[in-house]
Amino acid sequence: MDPIETHDVVVIGGGPAGLAAALGARRAGAGKVLLVERDRALGGILNQCVHDGFGLFLYNETISGPEYAERLIEDVVREPIRIETGAMVLDLTPDRVLRINSRAGYRLVRAGAVVLAMGCRERTREMIEIPGTRPAGVFTAGSAQNLVNLQNFRIGNEAVILGSGDIGLIMTRRLTFEGVAVKGVFEIMPWVSGLERNVRQCLLDLGIPLRLRSTVVEIRGRDRVESVVVAKVDEELAPIPGTESVIPCDTLLLSVGLIPENELSKRAGVALSPSTGGAVVDQALMTSVPGVFSCGNVLHIHDVADWASYEGFAAGGSAARYAAGERAAGGTVRITAGPNVKYALPQLVTAGTAGVEWSFRTTRPIRNAQIVVKGITTGKVHARKKFGRLLPSELQKIKMRRAVEEDLEVGCHE
Amino acid sequence: MNDRCALDRLTCVLCPVGCELEVLKDEAGGLDVQGNQCDKGVPFAVEEILHPKRNLATSVPVRGTAATMVSVRLSGPVPREMIFPILAEIGRLRPEAPVRRGQVLIADVLGTGVDVIATRTVI
């Protein structure tokens, strides 16, 4: 069967990254752009993030998620971008043929370039293997956010939050506002995984206890959660016998991590990085499959939506140039994560490229940190930047002005 | 080291440096801020301790449309102690569609000088 329809750029996903990618593609000269979103409306996760704090970088003011989405969508609909909501991309081949199922039916689409912007999903109870019964009342924080903010459900009366990710912190405040008694936030690590301002505004302001080095070791209840058992953990994150306590509650929220949603990427043969869970990309955000680009939470988990959008603009622009026949010339340089660095992205750079900027995260909180970009064989320092404090929760950046000519390591030193 | 008790520890959020500020009570009963690397850190910390301000966001059921909810927030931050009284006011809202983004749903809520505004368009 031959493809019946071609586009210069097809963007998969209409959240903060995908919307920006469609715009970025148009601004870089792409003629025909198709934006495919599986939900009924554009905006992605922004629609349920009613709290403010979005747009500080993109719009220079702090607005809520729905406002941020609407502003981006207004820019998108002004462009001759074909928007398809309620449409699912079922498959993507290495030569960029998409199988799309939509209200109009099933069809094939051939793309000059593809931008992956499918976002991420939440880790569940099964993935962290909490023992106990299987009653109602166990929610991931994001699904609870959807139920409360978009569907007006009261999800429970007394809640415990496991994990200190941002969505869990935001939902702690949200549930408290709705009259739900939040008994405490339990975090297995010795540090909080969400942003500092959320700890302050969502926990400290409301007097919600935060217990680090603690986790839920059992869920109890027959039809509905009746209590959870929490315990302290040791250095190996194993529960310490004798430290258990029972907390009566009818609701458990899980905020225990996000996973880039790369099922389509895998089908296309895109190489993934074990440290980001997303694609391995070059400075143009191109994956190992030529003409397939990646941005936003499907590439790596962001803490600020604005950065996902900036990545989207960049990936969309790269995709438009690829579709127009532009190719990077030169060998490939590899960038590895050095001491205390979880990952540095992009992981590949075309030799001779100047002004490359890496996003990176540290593996743990580090004070008086110095980030160093150095040559692996020469040991030559090509860029360095000082930070008063680096937290694993904060995505940071470092730029190298000079052209990249050798394999590099991005490391963090105290 | 000094034996004065720290009132609070907070991270300055005015710039990416993120100074860790410690606020102490000085002999005269005033506030003494330490840890700031620039002048802006002091008023930031003093305001955060004495008059913390917050925005607030929630969503309310909307009538006359298939969409269930319209999200709302305040047009600007209010003193933190006003959050729950304002939430009670917002709890009584049942706006009728269409609602436009930015539309004022409660003007000058509880005399704070800020408005409750819709944050999405519901047709």
Looking at every residue in chain B, the average pLDDT score rounds to 88
The count of domains in chain B is 2
Does position B82 have pLDDT exceeding 80, yes or no? yes
State the Cα–Cα distance between residues A33 and A194, nearest whole angstrom. 35
Say which CATH number the domain at B114 has: 3.10.530.10
Whose tokens are 């959240």? That residue is A15
Token pair in block for residue A26? 């148009």
In this complex, do B59 and A197 lie within 8 Å of one another by their Cβ atoms?
A: no
Which chain B residue has its CA at the smallest distance from A206's CA?
B80
- The residues that bridge with A333 in the sheet, in sequence order, are A349
Q: Which residues contact A249 (CB under 8 A, 6 or more apart)?
A: A156, A158, A159, A160, A183, A225, A226, A227, A228
Which chain B residue has its CA at the smallest distance from A148's CA?
B59
Q: Is residue B28 part of a domain?
A: yes
Whose tokens are 């039809």? That residue is A223
User: Chain centroid to CA B9: how far?
Assistant: 19
For residues B61 and B38, membership in a common domain is answered with no
In this complex, do A51 and B57 lie within 8 Å of one another by their Cβ atoms?
A: yes
Containing domain of residue B95, as a range?
Answer: 57-118
What type of residue sits at position A10? V
For residues B79 and B111, membership in a common domain is answered with yes
A66 → closest Cβ in B20, B54, B119: B119
Q: Is residue B71 part of a domain?
A: yes
Per-position b or e across A175-186, b if 16+ CB within 10 A of its CB? bbbbebebbbbb
For residues B71 and B113, membership in a common domain is answered with yes
Q: Is residue B62 part of a domain?
A: yes
State the Cα–Cα distance between residues A100 and A97, nearest whole angstrom. 10
Check if the beta carbon of residue A362 is closer than 8 Å to that of residue A391.
yes
Confidence of residue B16 (pLDDT cuts 50, 70, 90): low
Token pair in block for residue A287? 């994956």
A64 → closest Cβ in B13, B37, B119: B119
* Mutation for testing the A interface, residue in B119, B121, B122 having most A CBs under 10 Å: B119
ipTM for the whole complex: 0.88
Q: What percent of chain B has pLDDT over 90?
A: 53
pTM for the model stands at 0.93
State the Cα–Cα distance between residues A29 and A318, nearest whole angstrom. 10
Q: Which residues contact B49 (CB under 8 A, 6 or more apart)?
A: B7, B8, B23, B31
In this complex, do B57 and A200 lie within 8 Å of one another by their Cβ atoms?
A: no
Radius of gyration of chain A (CA): 22
Dump pLDDT digits (tens) for B44-78.
888 888 889 999 999 999 998 877 899 999 999 99
For residues B62 and B100, membership in a common domain is answered with yes
Phi and psi at residue B78, to the nearest 5°: -125, 165
pLDDT at residue number B4: 58
* Mutation for testing the A interface, residue in B73, B83, B122 having most A CBs under 10 Å: B73
For residues B102 and B72, membership in a common domain is answered with yes
Q: Is residue B123 part of a domain?
A: no
For residues B39 and B84, membership in a common domain is answered with no
Counting DSSP H helices and E strands in chain A, the numbers are 8, 27
Token pair in block for residue B69? 């909810």
In this complex, do B68 and A152 lie within 8 Å of one another by their Cβ atoms?
A: yes
Q: Is residue B1 part of a domain?
A: no
Q: Is residue B84 part of a domain?
A: yes
Confidence of residue B1 (pLDDT cuts 50, 70, 90): very low
- SS3 sequence of A150-219: CCCCCCCCEEEEECCCHHHHHHHHHHHHCCCEEEEEECCCCCCCCCHHHHHHHHHCCCCCEECCEEEEEE
For residues B46 and B62, membership in a common domain is answered with no
In this complex, do A177 and B55 lie within 8 Å of one another by their Cβ atoms?
A: no
- Residues in A closer than 8 angstroms to B19, CB to CB, are 388
Which chain A residue has its CA at the smallest distance from B74's CA?
A52
For residues B44 and B61, membership in a common domain is answered with no
For residues B42 and B61, membership in a common domain is answered with no
Check if the beta carbon of residue A410 is closer than 8 Å to that of residue A373.
yes
Where do the domains of chain A lie, and which CATH numbers do they carry? 1-121+258-328 (3.50.50.60), 124-256 (3.50.50.60), 330-414 (no CATH)
For residues B84 and B68, membership in a common domain is answered with yes
Hey, how many other C-beta atoms are within 10 angstroms of the C-beta on B2? Answer: 8
Interface list for chain B against chain A, based on CB atoms closer than 8 Å: 10-11, 13, 17-20, 37, 52, 54-59, 61, 68-69, 71-73, 80, 87, 101-102, 119-121
Check if the beta carbon of residue B117 is closer than 8 Å to that of residue B73.
yes
Interface list for chain A against chain B, based on CB atoms closer than 8 Å: 47, 50-52, 62-64, 66-67, 69-70, 148-152, 174, 177-178, 196-197, 200-201, 205, 388-389
For residues B61 and B46, membership in a common domain is answered with no
Hey, how many other C-beta atoms are within 10 angstroms of the C-beta on A228? Answer: 28
In this complex, do B120 and A70 lie within 8 Å of one another by their Cβ atoms?
A: yes
Dihedral angle of Cα B61, B64, B66, B68, to the nearest 10 degrees: 0
pLDDT at residue number B2: 47
Could you state, in chain order, the average pLDDT of each consecutive group of 10 residues for chain A (414 residues)? 83 98 98 97 96 92 95 97 97 97 94 98 93 95 96 96 95 96 97 88 94 97 98 96 98 96 98 97 97 98 95 98 94 95 97 96 93 95 91 92 95 94
CA of B68 to nearest chain A CA: how many angstroms apart?
6
Q: Which residues contact A164 (CB under 8 A, 6 or more apart)?
A: A185, A187, A192, A193, A194, A199, A210, A255
CA of B40 to nearest chain A CA: how many angstroms apart?
16
For residues B24 and B39, membership in a common domain is answered with yes
State the angle between helix axes of A16-27 and A305-323 in degrees (0 to 180), rounded to the nearest 10.
Answer: 40
